[in-house]
Amino acid sequence: MKNKRFITLGFLTTALSIGLLFSSTLTADNSVKNTEATRLEALAKFSKVISIVEQYNVDDISIEELMDKALDGMMKNLDAHSNFLSQKDYKRLQVQTNGEFGGLGITVGMKNGALTVISPIDGTPADKAGLKAGDIILKIDKKSTIGMTIDEAVSLMRGKVGDPIDVAIVRKGELKPLAIHIVRGIITIESVHTKLINDDTLYIRVASFDKKVASDVTEAINKHRATTKGIILDLRNNPGGLLDQAVDLVDIFVDEGKIVSQKGRKESDNKTYSATQRKTLTKVPLVVLINSGSASASEIVSGALQDHKRCVLVGQKTFGKGSVQVVLPITKDEAIKLTIARYYLPSGRTIQAVGVTPDIYVLPGEVKTYENEFAIKEADLKQHLEEELQKVDSNTTDTKADTQDKKDIITPEMLNKDIQLKSGVDILKALIITQGK
């Protein structure tokens, strides 16, 4: 009797398990079927709308045009950086990737729904005309930018070299919009510029991250290695560029640890980039200059160096673009640009819509200087040593004659015109002293 009860209980337990498994399978199958049904219903709705618009719209629009408009609208509504690239847009992107194109020389992005200048590129028509990072573009040749995509705006701003364009902007601190006249030019980007400050400080300006940034910076450091006691890395108004170049640039100054990671929806999109000791070139004190025009790759560099406590960040808070886009061809001549992941700094903090905060906040401007006309110095006294002064003056003249070309040197007068750079140099001096250099 006892055995029979156990057999019965065992049978019931097995039957219950089979029933639960069967029920679970049915639930899973139903879930898949429901998902598939929902997809089919959504596609049917989309097809129905396309058909109605094609049939009844006041203007005759082909099915190809309707599909392009639908794709364009879908991509725009995903985020500010995803979009559909038509044949014309895709070709324009390929031309820009080659490093030389006709236009104004600015990088733009969407910030709070407004078309915003991320940064003007050094020496370009936009830079010379006075456009600044943070300017909001209201109109392009009298066309409002409200509701306009980044690609539409870029399309309007590009044109034949020598053709003029007028933009209306809103600038913080100005009471009314400003009208700026610009003449389009060939935009050729030279990403790395180097100069010397006080003979022992190397100034490296990185304007954007093209494929030669790491090698150019490496060459500059090696060239001045014997005399360099500190480095100023200027990433102001740098709109970003290639991720691998940003990683390699950090690796020049950091010998171990995480540099940046990206996390997406798919496991294959998750990646981590780390520093390697063999690529590290220097450990001299480092100051990095940033501002609101520093975006994307420049935020990765400044943020990673800050997390590793490898530098002092000076300037203003950065733009806050910490997302990863890829261009995926969908036909021979068309593609989509899609956001697939977000960047995270070594500490785990995000850049997206947050940016990187400097260690020392310094607004742009000039250093206010004045000379006291009534101050009395040794040279003003009757018994001053005239001969010694003459010797000093002649030695100074000889030294200046032996220095490099003036275009490769940042003078004290130039420093006084850039208070952010001046602050960076002063901080670097203190770091060099404290480290006993």
Q: What pLDDT does residue 178 have? A: 95
Indicate whether 118 belongs to any domain.
yes
The reply to whether 203 and 303 lie within a common domain is yes
Residue 14 within a domain: no
Tell me the pLDDT tens digit for each residue of 321-340: 999 888 899 999 999 999 99
Q: Does 68 participate in catalysis according to the annotation?
A: no
Does residue 348 sit in the same domain as residue 223? yes
Domain enclosing residue 256, as ranges: 192-361
Q: Are 299 and 319 in contact (CB under 8 A)?
A: yes
Residue 304 lies in a domain: yes
Q: How confident is the model at residue 16 (pLDDT cuts 50, 70, 90)?
A: very low
The token pair at 288 is 């990095």
- Domain shared by 138 and 108, yes or no: yes
Residue 58 within any structural domain of the chain: no
Considering the chain, what percentage of its residues have pLDDT values greater than 70?
81
The answer on 176 and 319 residing in a single domain is: no
Residue 78 has pLDDT above 50, yes or no: yes
Residue at 11: amino acid letter: F
417 is a domain residue: no
Residues 176 and 211 in one domain: no
- Which residue among the candidates 122, 216, 307, 418 is catalytic per the annotation? 307
Is there a single domain that holds both residue 141 and residue 254? no
Percent of the chain whose pLDDT exceeds 90: 59
We report the CATH number of the domain holding residue 243 as 3.90.226.10
User: pLDDT-derived band of residue 109, with 50, 70 and 90 as boundaries?
Assistant: confident
Q: pLDDT at residue 246 above 50?
A: yes
CA distances from 411 to 200, 205, 362, 366, 417 (A): 13, 16, 20, 14, 10
In a domain, 213, yes or no: yes
State yes or no: pLDDT of 24 exceeds 70. Answer: no
User: Mind listing the pLDDT tens digit for each residue in 361-387?
Assistant: 999 998 887 666 666 666 666 555 555
Domain count, the chain: 2
335 close to 329: Cβ distance less than 8 angstroms = yes
Query: Are residues 419 and 364 in contact, defined by beta-carbon separation less than 8 angstroms?
Result: yes
| 94: three-class secondary structure by DSSP | helix
Residue 68 forms part of a structural domain: no
Contact 88, 152 (CB under 8 A): no
- The verdict on whether 321 is a catalytic residue reads yes
Q: Give yes or no: residues 281 and 303 share one domain.
A: yes
pLDDT of residue 372: 65
Q: Indicate which residue of 292, 296, 298, 423 is catalytic.
A: 296
255/341 same-domain check: yes
Same domain, 240 and 124: no
Do residue 121 and residue 229 come from a single domain? no
Are 137 and 283 in the same domain?
A: no
157 and 227 co-located in one domain: no
Residue 121: the pLDDT is 81
CATH assignment at residue 109 = 2.30.42.10
Last residue of a domain, one of 188, 208, 236: 188
Residue 325: its H or E element? strand 323-329
Do the domain assignments include residue 402? Answer: no
* 296 counts as catalytic: yes
Q: Where are the alpha helices (DSSP H) in 77-160?
A: 87-97, 125-129, 150-157
For residues 248-271, give the mean pLDDT.
Answer: 95
Residue that terminates a domain, selected from 157, 188, 219 = 188
Distance CA 126, CA 114 (A): 19
Given 258, 321, 422, 429, the catalytic residue: 321
pLDDT band, residue 96 (cuts 50/70/90):
low
- Mean pLDDT on 262-289: 94
Among candidate residues 345, 361, 377, the one where a domain is terminated: 361
pLDDT at 200 over 70: yes
